[in-house]
A and B are shown apart, each in its own frame.
Chain A
Amino acid sequence: MTQEAEVGIFIDSVLGYFDVTVQHTAQCGTPYLAIGRAPEVSDYTAMIRVSGKRHGIVYFTAPRSMLSVMLMRMQETDMSHENLCDLVGEIANTFAGNARRGFGPQFVISVPQVVSGPTTPMDYPPGTHPIVIPIDWRTYKARLVVCLN
């Protein structure tokens, strides 16, 4: 599978998630390779470790305001820090899990690891460059970062 096709699998996961869960379409910007400096992280970040046929990480990072609005759209009234962490983890899990449609069952994913605020450096596989998929939803900006060997 080409790198372009692999990125396409994740973009499909992103677009499907927003359409179904919050009934408001997201837009994905042009994906780019983060070379020279690590991609910026936002208020909440959830990282999934990938093992099996591929190794690496997938993470989703989004601002608090965006996650709060998403919770509201899901009829959720609890906007606590715990629920924001929960949501960002669930989103990352869904993006990575849905990617198995294209990657197959050997694309093994971990439970999400969630952090808020500036994160410690991500554990990228050696010799790889993260691919950043910008996500625009309403007025908010988030990112899905994929780094697989």
Chain B
Amino acid sequence: MSPRAAAAAPVMVHRLMVVDDSNVIRRRIERAHDLPFVEFVGSARNGREALELHARTRPTIVTMDLTMPEMDGIECVERLVARDPDIRILVISALADKATAITALEKGASGFLCKPFTDRQLNDALRKLIQD
């Protein structure tokens, strides 16, 4: 592709929703993500709020906690993917066993990042989510 054609190519802007029951973690993810063409569209404290926010903002990528009140992350992943099969979901959880990661991926998540995480690990995982 010529430089002119590359410059003219449409840029895919990814719309990021953050789901976590911890305000500290939600704010940290909002602050730490530094990828170009990623627009933060909102955050939710549990799966139920995430479904409502998804209906309003139509995010294309999501970070999802698992252990949350009202509706946990696994159920929310399943319901979001049923609504939008193209959505990309990065599960970010303290549940560090392999079986949990496998379950999340089987339900439709695209990646898994274990808490605690560094900013660099977060951005690497988001980058991979977008590129895959």
Contact = CB atoms under 8 A, between A and B. Distances in A.
A89 B27 CA distance: 15
A89 B22 contact: yes
A97 B95 contact: yes
Contacts of A110: 67
A93 B99 contact: no
B116 A86 contact: no
Contact of B67 (A20, A75, A97): A97
A139 B116 CA distance: 22
A94 B23 contact: no
A109 B115 CA distance: 15
Interface string B15-47: 000000111110110010000000000000000
Contacts of B22: 86-87, 89-90, 93
Nearest to B31: A75
Contact of A87 (B24, B31, B97, B117): B24
B75 to A, nearest CB: 14
A100 B118 contact: no
A100 B100 CA distance: 9
A141 B114 CA distance: 26
Provide the main secondary structure of the chain B interface. loop
A21 interface: yes
B68 A111 contact: yes
A86 B94 contact: no
Interface residues of B, number: 23
A82 interface: yes
Nearest to A70: B24
A86 to B, nearest CB: 5
B27 A76 contact: yes
Interface string A80-97: 001100110110011111
B69 to A, nearest CB: 5
A50 B94 CA distance: 15
Given A20-B118, A100-B100, A86 B24 contact: yes
A74 interface: yes
Given A20-B117, A75-B31, A90 B96 contact: no
B23 A82 contact: yes
A101 B97 contact: yes
Nearest to A93: B94
18 contacts: A16-B116, A20-B116, A75-B28, A75-B31, A78-B27, A83-B24, A93-B22, A95-B94, A100-B95, A100-B100, A105-B95, A105-B97, A105-B99, A105-B100, A107-B97, A109-B67, A109-B95, A111-B21
